[in-house]
Amino acid sequence: MSALTVKTVLTSDRPVLDASADVQISIRDLDVHYGANHAVRDVTFDVPRQAVTALIGPSGCGKSTVLRSINRMNDLIPSARVEGEIRYHGVNINDPAIDPVIVRRNIGMVFQKPNPFPKSIYDNVAWGAKINGHKGNMDELVESCLRRAAIWEEVKDKLKESGLSLSGGQQQRLCIARALANDPDVILMDEPASALDPISTLKIEDLMRELARNYTIVVVTHNMQQAARVSDRTVFFSLNDQRQGVLIEAGATADMFTNPRDQRTEDYITGRFG
Amino acid sequence: MTAVRQLFQYELDALRERVVTMGSMVDKALARAVDALRTLDVNLAREVVKNDLDINRYRWETEDEATRVIATQAPLAGDLRAVISVFSIVTDLERMGDHAVSIARYVIDTAAEPPLKKLVDLPRMAEIGREMLRDSLAAFVQGDVDAANRIITRDDEVDALFEQVSRELLTYMLADPMTIDRATRLIAVGHNLERVGDRVENICERVIYAATGAVETPA
CA dist list (Å): A145 to A51, A99, A109, A123, A163: 19, 25, 15, 12, 15
Question: Total domain count for chain B?
Answer: 1
Instruction: Report how far residue B186's alpha carbon sits from residue B120's, in angstroms, rounded to the nearest whole number.
Output: 12
Residue of B nearest to A260 (CA): B77
- Residues near B211 by Cβ (< 8 Å), separated by ≥ 6? B78, B143, B144, B145
Helices B6-39 and B77-110, axial angle in degrees (round to 10): 20
Residue of A nearest to B215 (CA): A259
Expressed as residue numbers, the domain containing A258 is 3-115+185-269
pLDDT (average), residues B173-193: 95
| pLDDT score at A90 | 85
Q: Which residues in A have their CB inside 8 Å of a CB on B?
A: 224-225, 228, 257-260, 265-267, 269-273
Expressed as residue numbers, the domain containing B114 is 6-212
* Domain assignment present for A238: yes
* Domain assignment present for A255: yes
| pLDDT score at A86 | 97
Chain B residues inside the 8 Å CB shell of A222? none
Instruction: Report how far residue A140's alpha carbon sits from residue A134's, in angstroms, rounded to the nearest whole number.
Output: 12
CB contact under 8 A, A272 and B213: no
**Tens digit of pLDDT per residue, chain A (274 long)?**
344 344 444 333 333 444 446 999 999 999 999 999 999 999 999 999 999 999 999 999 999 999 999 999 999 899 999 999 999 988 999 998 999 999 999 999 999 999 999 999 999 999 988 988 888 999 999 999 999 999 999 999 999 999 999 999 999 999 999 999 999 999 999 999 998 899 999 999 999 999 999 999 999 999 999 999 999 999 999 999 999 999 999 999 999 999 999 999 999 999 887 5
Give the domain CATH number at B184.
1.20.58.220
Question: Total domain count for chain A?
Answer: 1
- Beta-carbon contacts below 8 Å between A and B: 39
Q: Which of B2, B77, B212 is facing A270, going by the closest CB pair? A: B77
* Domain assignment present for B217: no
Q: What is the distance in angstroms between the Cα of B16 and the nearest Cα belonging to chain A?
A: 18
Q: Which of B1, B74, B213 is facing A272, going by the closest CB pair? A: B1
Give the domain CATH number at A34.
3.40.50.300
| pLDDT score at B5 | 78
Q: What is the distance in angstroms between the Cα of B177 and the nearest Cα belonging to chain A?
A: 56
* Domain assignment present for A156: no
- Residues near A1 by Cβ (< 8 Å), separated by ≥ 6? A185
ipTM above 0.85, yes or no: no
Q: Which of A225, A260, A273 is facing B77, going by the closest CB pair? A: A260
Residue of B nearest to A265 (CA): B77
Instruction: Report how far residue A154's alpha carbon sits from residue A172's, in angstroms, rounded to the nearest whole number.
Output: 13
Of A53, A60, A58, which Cα lies nearest the Cα of A70? A53
DSSP states along A184-247:
-SEEEEESTTTTS-HHHHHHHHHHHHHHTTTSEEEEE-S-HHHHHHH-SEEEEEEE-TTS-EEE
CA dist list (Å): B186 to B120, B122, B157: 12, 9, 19
Q: How many CA atoms lie less than 13 Å away from B45 in the CB half-sphere?
A: 19
| pLDDT score at B218 | 52
pLDDT (average), residues B29-50: 97
| pLDDT score at B1 | 40
| pLDDT score at B131 | 98
Q: What is the distance in angstroms between the Cα of B73 and the nearest Cα belonging to chain A?
A: 10
User: Does B171 score more than 80 pLDDT?
Assistant: yes
* Domain assignment present for A151: no
Of B122, B129, B104, B138, which Cα lies nearest the Cα of B29? B104
* Domain assignment present for B87: yes
* Domain assignment present for A166: no
Q: Which residues in B have their CB inside 8 Å of a CB on A?
A: 1-2, 4-5, 8, 74-81, 212-213
SS3 A34: strand
Instruction: Report how far residue B53's alpha carbon sits from residue A171's, in angstroms, rounded to the nearest whole number.
Output: 56
Q: What is the distance in angstroms between the Cα of A274 and the nearest Cα belonging to chain B?
A: 10
B85-143 residue pLDDT tens: 999 999 999 999 999 999 999 999 998 888 888 899 999 999 999 999 999 999 999 99
* Domain assignment present for B1: no
Could you tell me if A119 and A163 are in contact, meaning their C-beta atoms sit under 8 angstroms apart?
yes
* Domain assignment present for A171: no
* Domain assignment present for B41: yes
| pLDDT score at A246 | 97
* Domain assignment present for A180: no
* Domain assignment present for A76: yes
